[in-house]
C-alpha cells in the first residue's frame, strides 16, 4: 500500500477513534491503538507512540479551556504531576522490554476497565469544604464556579491519590493512553475532589504526562511521521466533532453502546495477545 493511501486510512480510523473517545469520555488514544494494531496491522509500539502524540495534541486544547474557566486546580495538578511524570518515564522504559503480546494483553485489560467506567453514570457527590491538614499545608483546597454560585471544596488523602497517580502515569507511558479514568478515580474517589474539577485537572495533567513518555518513544524511533501525523489530526478532528455532537445525541445510550464495542475490542486484543499475533 502506498504511503499516502496508508496515511489516509490512518486518518479516517483516527477520526472515528477521536469521535468515539470524545463521546464516551475515554479519549481517542484509548481507541486508536487497538484500531491501528487490529485493523491495519501496525506494530503496537508504533501505535502507542502515535497515540501519545494525539493525547498531547488533544489534551492541550481542552486543558487551556478548563484553566481559563477556573475548573482546573493548578496546585493539585502540579503536585500530582510529580507522580504521573515519574510513572510515565518508568512505563516508557518498560515498554521496550515487555513483549508486544504482553502489551496487547495489558492494553486489553485496561480497555475492559475503561468500558466498565464508561457504562457507569457519574453523579456529583457531596463536597466537603475542608480537607486534611496535609492538604491544607500544601494549599490544595480550592473553589470552583457554578451557575448558582461558587463552591468551596477540600482535599483528603493526598498521599493515596499521589500513589495511584504513579500507576496512572505508568500505564500512560506503557500503553500510550491518557489514563484519564484512573486519574479521575484517584481525585474523585480517594481525594474527595468534585468530579468537574477532577476531570478538568486530569485534562491539564495528561499533556505533561504524555510529553514525558513521548520523548523516550521518539528517541527509540517509535514515533513515525507517516503514522503519528494522521493520527494526531484525525483524533483532533474527531474530538472536535464529538464535542459538538455531545449536546445533541442521547449520550447515556451511546456510552453504553460504545462500552460494549470497547469491551469486544478489549477481548480481541487479549485473545490476539495470548495467541502471539500482535
Strands 149-153, 142-146: parallel, antiparallel or unpaired by DSSP?
antiparallel
Residue with cell 510529580: 82
What pTM does this model have? 0.76
Q: Tell me the pLDDT tens digit for each residue of 97-113.
A: 888 888 888 888 887 87
Where does residue 200 rank: exposed (0-12), middle (13-18), buried (19+ CB within 10 A)? Answer: buried
Give me the phi and psi of 222, to 5 degrees please.
Answer: -90, 0
> Residue 86: which pLDDT band, with cuts at 50, 70 and 90?
very high
169 contacts 95 by C-beta, under 8 angstroms: no
Q: What is the number of other CB atoms lying within 10 angstroms of the CB of residue 74?
A: 11
Secondary structure (DSSP) of 29-76: HHHHHHHHHHHS---HHHHHHHHHHHHHHHHHHHHHHHHHHT-S-HHH
β-strand partners of 20:
none
Where does residue 48 rank: exposed (0-12), middle (13-18), buried (19+ CB within 10 A)? Answer: buried
Q: Which residue has the higher pLDDT, 147 or 217?
A: 217
- Cα separation, 165 vs 175, in Å, equals 15
Q: Tell me the pLDDT tens digit for each residue of 20-48.
A: 766 665 666 777 888 888 888 888 889 88
Instruction: Return the pLDDT at 26.
Output: 62
Please report, for residues 1, 57, 115, the alpha-carbon distance to residue 60 in angstroms, rounded to integers and kept in the order given. 33, 6, 24
Q: Percent of the chain at pLDDT above 90? A: 6
Maximum Cα–Cα distance for the chain, whole Å? 61
Give me the phi and psi of 247, to 5 degrees please.
Answer: -85, -5
Q: Tell me the pLDDT tens digit for each residue of 126-157.
A: 556 666 788 888 888 888 776 667 778 888 88
252 contacts 118 by C-beta, under 8 angstroms: no
Q: Fill in the DSSP letter of residue 247.
A: T
Instruction: Return the pLDDT at 90.
Output: 92
β-strand partners of 146:
149
CA atoms 193, 196, 199, 200: torsion sign? negative
Residue 245 pLDDT > 80:
no
Say how many CA atoms lie within 13 Å of 11 toward its Cβ.
12
Q: Provide the number of structural domains found in the chain.
A: 1
Single out the residue of 199, 210, 204, 212 nearest to residue 77, CA to CA. Answer: 204
Domain that holds residue 197: 3-275
Residue 228 pLDDT > 70:
yes
Residue 238 pLDDT > 70:
yes
Single out the residue of 71, 50, 21 nearest to residue 261, CA to CA. Answer: 21
Secondary structure (DSSP) of 127-145: PPS---HHHHHTT--EEEE
Q: Which residue has the higher pLDDT, 35 or 119?
A: 35
- Beta carbons within 8 Å of 161's beta carbon, 6+ residues apart: 80, 186, 187, 190, 191
Amino acid at each position: 500500500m502506498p504511503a499516502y493511501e496508508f496515511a489516509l486510512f490512518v486518518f479516517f480510523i483516527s477520526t472515528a477513534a477521536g469521535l468515539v473517545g470524545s463521546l464516551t469520555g475515554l479519549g481517542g488514544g484509548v481507541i486508536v491503538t487497538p484500531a491501528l494494531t487490529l485493523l491495519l496491522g501496525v506494530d503496537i509500539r508504533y501505535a502507542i507512540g502515535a497515540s501519545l502524540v494525539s493525547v498531547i495534541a488533544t489534551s492541550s486544547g481542552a486543558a487551556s479551556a478548563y484553566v481559563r474557566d477556573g475548573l482546573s486546580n493548578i496546585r493539585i495538578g502540579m503536585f500530582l504531576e510529580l507522580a504521573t511524570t515519574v510513572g510515565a518515564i518508568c512505563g516508557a522504559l518498560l515498554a521496550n522490554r515487555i513483549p508486544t503480546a504482553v502489551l496487547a494483553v495489558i492494553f486489553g485489560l485496561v480497555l475492559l476497565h475503561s468500558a466498565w467506567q464508561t457504562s457507569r453514570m457519574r453523579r456529583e457527590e457531596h463536597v466537603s469544604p475542608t480537607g486534611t491538614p496535609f492538604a491544607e499545608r500544601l494549599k490544595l483546597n480550592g473553589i470552583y464556579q457554578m451557575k448558582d454560585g461558587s463552591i468551596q471544596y477540600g482535599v483528603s488523602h493526598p498521599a493515596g491519590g499521589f500513589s495511584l497517580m504513579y500507576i496512572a502515569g505508568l500505564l500512560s507511558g506503557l500503553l500510550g493512553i491518557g489514563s484519564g479514568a484512573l486519574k479521575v478515580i484517584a481525585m474523585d474517589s480517594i481525594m474527595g475532589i468534585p468530579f468537574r474539577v477532577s476531570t478538568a485537572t486530569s485534562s491539564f495533567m495528561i499533556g505533561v504526562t504524555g510529553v514525558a513518555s513521548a520523548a523516550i518513544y521518539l528517541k527509540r524511533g517509535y514515533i513515525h511521521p507517516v503514522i503519528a501525523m494522521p493520527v494526531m489530526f484525525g483524533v483532533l478532528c474527531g474530538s472536535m466533532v464529538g464535542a459538538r455532537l455531545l449536546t445533541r445525541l442521547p449520550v447515556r445510550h451511546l456510552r453504553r453502546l460504545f462500552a460494549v464495542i470497547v469491551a469486544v475490542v478489549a477481548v480481541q486484543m487479549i485473545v490476539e495477545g495470548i495467541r502471539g499475533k500482535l
